[in-house]
């Protein structure tokens, strides 16, 4: 089916009114970098598209009462360039930097990346590590959902883009004992989907040595962006040293369930994710000098 209408609203109120008016027959589009590719092999079954790329409120990045808010139509390039995200959401800035190519980053959005629900979507992995909330508006209804809870399977989320508008993502601004980091291994530096990616958030005890808390998000290690909770539990309270990091690497390799794909075997991905975790923790805590060749 070819669509008959292409709407370009300028407020979220207009977007919601259009969704209500079209009763599931209109689909949201942001950058179109996923949707238009999908449309080629699986034509969209809707009559209308609603382009949310010109709604200023969906393109804001701001801090409010100790939380960082990122509008759903913020592009990857905006995230990379934002001083607020570089300073207070490093894992998200680095994840956005690794997406596709400059052309893809200039139009692709964080909202599209999450709603498209691929198990290794780069900014989705970072937002899971940040324990972000998804802010969703539907006609007559507002809700906030932990991002990790919206993923149902490869390409499937609980957000229905013919009924629900993701307006923003939010996460706590970090304090001085929190660190984040993003690690990604791919066959090329650009325009290659990840073999493995890992988003890390951690918090140190007041003594600055022991690990008080940690969140580890990884992809594509399950059918959805995956929180490695067993490995997180094994690290809580630990004073980090080479031995502990090695054990954590083994633990996460055992915990995840990647599959064989043309990008790499499951066994190889299991091994790589162990390396990624060790590297992520070392770099987050500046335990070793950053390799000049790492992006």
**Residue ranges binding ligand FAD (CB under 6 A):** 27-35, 37, 52, 72, 99-100, 104, 108-109, 111-113, 115-116, 121-122, 159, 161, 164-166, 191, 193
Residue 187 or 236 with smaller CB distance to ligand FAD = 187
Q: How far is Cα 32 from Cα 104, in angstroms, rounded to an integer? A: 10
Residue 135 or 278 with smaller CB distance to ligand FAD = 135
Residue 93 or 193 with smaller CB distance to ligand FAD = 193
Minimum CB distance to ligand FAD, residue 86 (Å): 19
Q: How far is Cα 57 from Cα 111, in angstroms, rounded to an integer? A: 13
Minimum CB distance to ligand FAD, residue 139 (Å): 13
Kindly report the CA angle at 274 between 272 and 277, in degrees rounded to 5? 110
C-alpha pair distances (Å), 110 with each of 46, 247, 269: 23, 34, 25
Minimum CB distance to ligand FAD, residue 196 (Å): 13
Minimum CB distance to ligand FAD, residue 205 (Å): 34
Residue 35 or 221 with smaller CB distance to ligand FAD = 35
Q: Please give the residue whose beta carbon sits closest to ligand FAD in the complex.
A: 112
Minimum CB distance to ligand FAD, residue 44 (Å): 9
Residue 193 or 204 with smaller CB distance to ligand FAD = 193
Minimum CB distance to ligand FAD, residue 292 (Å): 22
Phi-psi region of 197 (alpha: psi -120 to 50; beta: other; left: phi over 0): beta
Residue 157 or 231 with smaller CB distance to ligand FAD = 157
């Amino acid at each position: 089916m070819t669509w008959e209408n292409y709407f370009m609203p300028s407020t979220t109120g207009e977007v919601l009114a259009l969704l209500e008016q079209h009763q599931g027959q209109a689909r949201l589009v942001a950058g179109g970098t996923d949707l238009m590719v999908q449309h080629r092999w699986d034509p969209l079954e809707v009559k209308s598209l609603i382009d949310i790329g010109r709604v200023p409120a969906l393109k804001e990045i701001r801090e409010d009462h100790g939380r960082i808010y990122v509008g759903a139509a913020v592009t990857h390039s905006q995230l990379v360039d934002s001083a607020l995200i570089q300073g207070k959401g490093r894992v998200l800035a680095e994840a956005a930097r690794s997406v596709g190519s400059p052309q893809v980053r200039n139009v692709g959005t964080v909202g599209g990346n999450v709603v498209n629900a691929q198990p290794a979507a780069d900014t989705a992995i970072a937002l899971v590590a940040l324990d972000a909330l998804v802010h969703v508006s539907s006609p007559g209804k507002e809700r906030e959902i932990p991002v990790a809870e919206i993923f149902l399977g490869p390409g499937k989320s609980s957000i229905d883009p013919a009924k629900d508008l993701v307006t923003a993502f939010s996460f706590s601004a970090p304090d001085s004992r929190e660190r984040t980091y993003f690690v990604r291994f791919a066959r090329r530096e650009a325009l290659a989907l990840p073999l493995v990616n890992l988003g890390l958030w951690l918090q140190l005890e007041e003594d600055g040595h022991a690990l008080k808390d940690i969140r580890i998000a990884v992809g594509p290690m399950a059918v959805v962006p995956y929180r490695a909770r067993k490995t997180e539990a094994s690290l809580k309270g630990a004073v980090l040293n080479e031995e502990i990091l090695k054990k954590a690497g083994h633990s996460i390799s055992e915990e995840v369930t990647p599959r064989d794909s043309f990008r790499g075997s499951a066994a190889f991905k299991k091994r790589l994710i162990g390396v990624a975790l060790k590297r992520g923790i070392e770099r987050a805590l500046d335990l070793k000098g950053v390799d000049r060749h790492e992006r």
